[in-house]
Amino acid sequence: MDLGKLGVWYFFDGFSSEHSAVMAKKIEALGYGTLWIPETVGKNPVALSSWLLANTQQLNVATGIMNIYHREPGVTLAAQNTLAEQSGGRFVLGIGVSHKPLVEGVRGLDYGPPVATMRQYLDKMAASPYTAVAPAEPATTLIAALGPKMLALAAEKCAGAHPYFSSPEHTRMAREVMGAEALLCVEQKVILESNPAAARELARPVSRIYHRLPNYRNNWLRMGLSEVDIDDLSDRFIDTTFAWGDIAAIQERIQAHLDAGADHVCIQPVNPSGQFGDLHWETLEALAS
């Protein structure tokens, strides 16, 4: 499937279904290829994907990511095939192991070894029966992958990987690990703000949502950041993981991912107003032009 070079990654938990559909249509009209939606403790990504796909005509919808601990593998396969068939092949299943504090602390479930757990889950999905009308083409599966072992599994067992909160240097490493054929769809947070101090301060509240989660921390350490960088959300941390500046600077960061081997970059705009409200349409409109 054609994901397009650029996509949009965004939470829709704060919006009604009606408004979410309006936003998806606007993203489609701007020419973005794929809309990525996450899963935490808000909207059900299967139901939301079905709604957004039904309200658009060409836009792909991808889960970035669905938590494998929330669904038995056969249920995930059924949801994937149903959505792919309903939409004419516009659904991308992105799944991941999430993080131990979320799986055990929030859901009260047992968190297993990430790579072994994901491998077993993919094997069980592949072995699950599905007797309904199938999509015309096999549905696309990506896994949330950061470290070399999970990236290698992504290339071995499915279409590719969806790294989150990384950098162009990480993208280069991921491409080397996965080889030339696997899809590499990377997320990039962007802030349309040219003042360095202001941009970094806008980035820090967003970073605090993630910076204590172990899988991200381990990846940032592999990327060469220090524990102090991560704990303090240093300027070095922000500059490594965020794209900020004018549109030309943000476009340069996106191109750096593409040059490093990404097939698709999904941008997550941070609103310069400092609010976690509506999408920053000025950023999306400028990057789409």
Return the CATH number at 49. 3.20.20.30
The pLDDT of residue 289 is above 80: no
Q: Considering the domain boundaries, does residue 219 fall inside one?
A: yes
pLDDT of res. 276: 56
Among the listed residues 281, 289, 260, 275, the one whose alpha carbon sits nearest the alpha carbon of residue 8:
281
Q: Which residues pair with 178 in a beta bridge?
A: none
Q: Considering the domain boundaries, does residue 142 fall inside one?
A: yes
Residue spans of beta strands (DSSP E) within the chain: 6-9, 34-37, 60-63, 66-67, 91-96, 140-143, 160-161, 183-192, 242-245, 264-270
Q: Considering the domain boundaries, does residue 1 fall inside one?
A: no
pLDDT of res. 273: 80
Q: Considering the domain boundaries, does residue 45 fall inside one?
A: yes
Residue 239, domain extent = 6-288
* 3-state secondary structure labels for all residues of 73-106: HHHHHHHHHHHHHHCCCCEEEEEECCCHHHHHHH
pLDDT of res. 274: 62
Residue 1 pLDDT class (50, 70, 90 cuts):
confident
pLDDT of res. 33: 98
Q: Considering the domain boundaries, does residue 107 fall inside one?
A: yes
Residue 177 pLDDT class (50, 70, 90 cuts):
very high
Q: Considering the domain boundaries, does residue 13 fall inside one?
A: yes
Q: Please give the single-letter amino acid code of residue 265.
A: V
Structural domain count, the chain: 1
pLDDT of res. 130: 98
Q: Considering the domain boundaries, does residue 122 fall inside one?
A: yes
Residue 275 pLDDT class (50, 70, 90 cuts):
low
Q: Considering the domain boundaries, does residue 53 fall inside one?
A: yes
